[in-house]
Amino acid sequence: MTEPIAVLGAGVMGVGISTLLAGHGLPVRLVDHDPEKLTLAPERIRRELRMAQLVGALPPGREQGRVTGHSDVSAAGGARLVIEAVTEDADLKSAVLAEVSAGTAPGTPLVSNTSSIPIDELADSLPRPGDLIGTHFMNPPALIGTTEVIRGARTAEATLAAVRGLLQEVGRRPVVVSDAPGFVTSRLLHPMINDAARLVQRGTASVEDVDALMQGCLGHRTGPLRTADLIGIDNLVDSLWVLLKRTGDEGCRPCGLLLRKVAEGHHGRKTGRGFYEYEESTR
């Protein structure tokens, strides 16, 4: 029997990563202390699996892996690999990773799915920093074929090999980058989205026109503001604060429009409203 993958956090990214794994036949233990999230997760995973199947993003004819819900991180014990996908907060991630490390066998790869926090910073909380590596799955993970992999200064070769192998097993192309705040994707994308929101805030152009120009003239697949809705505007703002603190780049200071949307609860697709409105939320 295949050893399960443990996924910590049943939010948007935890559910998305679980969908990707289950869609490729792997068993998943989805862990979250919030009973409401665990209750909602199975239907959300079924919905995302249906979408991935409709667009041909999953292997045809493969039996789906079973996803089981758990309320305690002790469920990560015995897992083949652990993927942490909790809120983008360095202290919270460090605490969760330290707890998991204490309950898993040495050499078990611990993967922090983060958009901006340096992996070596998180590794300071672990007794075995070589077990830790970073990934930055894009949302939705089951539909995006490339995954950024962040190798920390102390990440062991065996940890890197295990993560590369898993990603290839589920049909993703791993691209390994060195550790730095925001890595490559967020360091480029998130300040750009911030600038796009500033243009709307200043009245230079509408949300729709900013996205239309970026799509039609510059080849951005979805447009920066629609992308912000997909990321989650609250998550985007958290990432920008991380980048500002760790780089000093004032271009990463979240603009007023982003902060206002977070304060109003308009976080994007997951809440049903962000820069655009959606028929249903994904929370």
Identify the structural domains of the chain with CATH numbers, from first to last: 5-178 (3.40.50.720), 186-271 (1.10.1040.10)
Q: Is 24 a catalytic residue?
A: no
Rounded percentage of the chain residues whose pLDDT exceeds 90: 96
115-126 pLDDT, tens digit each: 999 999 999 999
- Distance, in Å, from the CA atom of 135 to the CA atom of 243, rounded to the nearest integer, reads 17
Among residues 136, 190, 266, 267, which one is catalytic?
136
Report residue 281: phi and psi, to 5°: -85, 165
91-110 pLDDT, tens digit each: 999 999 999 999 999 999 99
Task: Name the pLDDT band for 283 (thresholds 50, 70, 90).
Answer: low
- Spatial contact of 129 and 103, defined as CB atoms under 8 Å apart: no
Residue 184 predicted with pLDDT over 70: yes
Nearest to 237 by CA among 47, 43, 89, 84: 89
Residue 282 predicted with pLDDT over 70: no
- Spatial contact of 38 and 30, defined as CB atoms under 8 Å apart: yes
- Spatial contact of 214 and 220, defined as CB atoms under 8 Å apart: yes
Residue 1 predicted with pLDDT over 70: no
Average pLDDT, integer, range 207-220: 97
256-268 pLDDT, tens digit each: 999 999 999 999 9
Average pLDDT, integer, range 171-190: 97
125-140 pLDDT, tens digit each: 999 999 999 999 999 9
DSSP state of 159: H
**What average pLDDT is seen over the chain?**
96
> What residues contact residue 26 under an 8 Å CB cut-off, 6+ apart?
2, 4, 5, 65, 169, 170
pTM attached to this predicted model = 0.93
219 vs 1, higher pLDDT: 219
